[in-house]
Amino acid sequence: MSKVIVGISGGVDSSVAAILLQKQGYEVEGLFMRNWDSSINNDILGNPNLNNNICPQEQDYNDAVEVCKKLNIPLHRIDFVKEYWDYVFEYFLSELKKGRTPNPDIMCNKYIKFDYFAKEAKRLGADYIATGHYAKMEDGYLKKAKDSNKDQTYFLCQLSHEQLENVLFPLGDIDKSEVRRIAEEYDLITAHKKDSTGICFIGERHFKEFLTNYLPNQKGDVIDIDTNKKVGEHIGLMYYTIGQRKGLDIGGNKDRLFVVGKNLDKNVLYVSFKEDNEYLISTSCIVEDINFNCDLRPNKCNAKFRYRAEEYPVELEYLEDGNILVKYDGVKAVTPGQACVFYLDDKCIGGGLIKEVRKNNEKLWYLL
């Protein structure tokens, strides 16, 4: 009987992943990862949903214990606090300092869940590892999940072929409602638990207050890019992302403003009052830190520029420095620091990080 170590997070998805693997006849064990220490990092007051002063991750562990008791499977626990800080959180802070919009979930998958976790699972005798991601592995390819609304291949774009070789994704062929139904059937404590949001493994925080523990606020001018006039003051460039319109509250224009750019040297945030302003539209971008998880290297494919966005047809030009020039007809709010993920039909073949955004072959001066 093959042995599978499942990443049990204390959420409903990983709980049901364990159930499905049991039904398929695997020997199943759970492994809970503790990757953040609020007491060491002195940020516990930055969490808006504390319950009786129990750290959310400790509550997740308690839920994981209850799930594994119910399923009668062993639960192991390991700390990757230092590794998470070194490979994920420092990257997160570094990108914010550059004025970019990072995606820590992608780096967490690359370095923690499918690297350190996999090594620990192997030490525990695992033939396979499994997670509660909505994705598939078929014929050696990473493919989209059946539930398109929950598909998480975007967050797996930095995984290598080797990292994906002995991975099982039990939720690939079912949708979220079925996951909830199965959890209810087994009377799991996680059946109606809210899906985790916020920063990977850190969870929900009052984001602005949380970041002040690590990065100083640097207020600066907000400039209307169409008139070059100051219309307010921002509270720090790291708090804004390209295309953002909610939560700005600048100059009393809560609903009309769009973030269209940043100038890190001048500490200026550029905005526009126009609903369909041309500043948010680009026609190409340079993508760095390229990873392909298979042998496919297409010249044409589809690309997704952020998780909750549609796919766009693109042309790929492979540059001598290892980066890729991604060309498209015109896409809104392509953002430095975010992932550009490549798809061929239902296959997610890899991706990289957006380094530079261009329009008509010229770098947009107001974008970092």
Residues classed as catalytic? 108, 200
Residues with Cβ within 8 Å of 276's Cβ and at least 6 positions away in sequence, in order, are none
Q: What is the per-residue burial (b if ≥16 Cβ within 10 Å, else e) of 292-310?
A: ebbeeeeeebbbbbbeebe
Closest CA to 51 of 59, 63, 43: 59
* Burial class, 149, CB count within 10 angstroms (exposed 0-12 / middle 13-18 / buried 19+): exposed
Nearest residue to 154 (alpha-carbon basis) of 110, 193, 197, 195: 110
CA distance 347 to 249: 41
SS3 of 8-41: the string is: CCCCHHHHHHHHHHHHCCCEEEEEEEECCCHHHH
Cβ neighbours, 10 Å, residue 318? 12
Other residues' Cβ atoms within 10 Å of the Cβ of residue 234: 23
Angle at 204 between CA 179 and CA 211, to 5 degrees: 150
Nearest-angstrom CA–CA distance, 340 and 322: 15
Rounded Cα distance, 155 and 333, in Å: 19
CA distance 344 to 314: 11
Helix axes 12-23, 176-185, angle to 10 degrees: 70
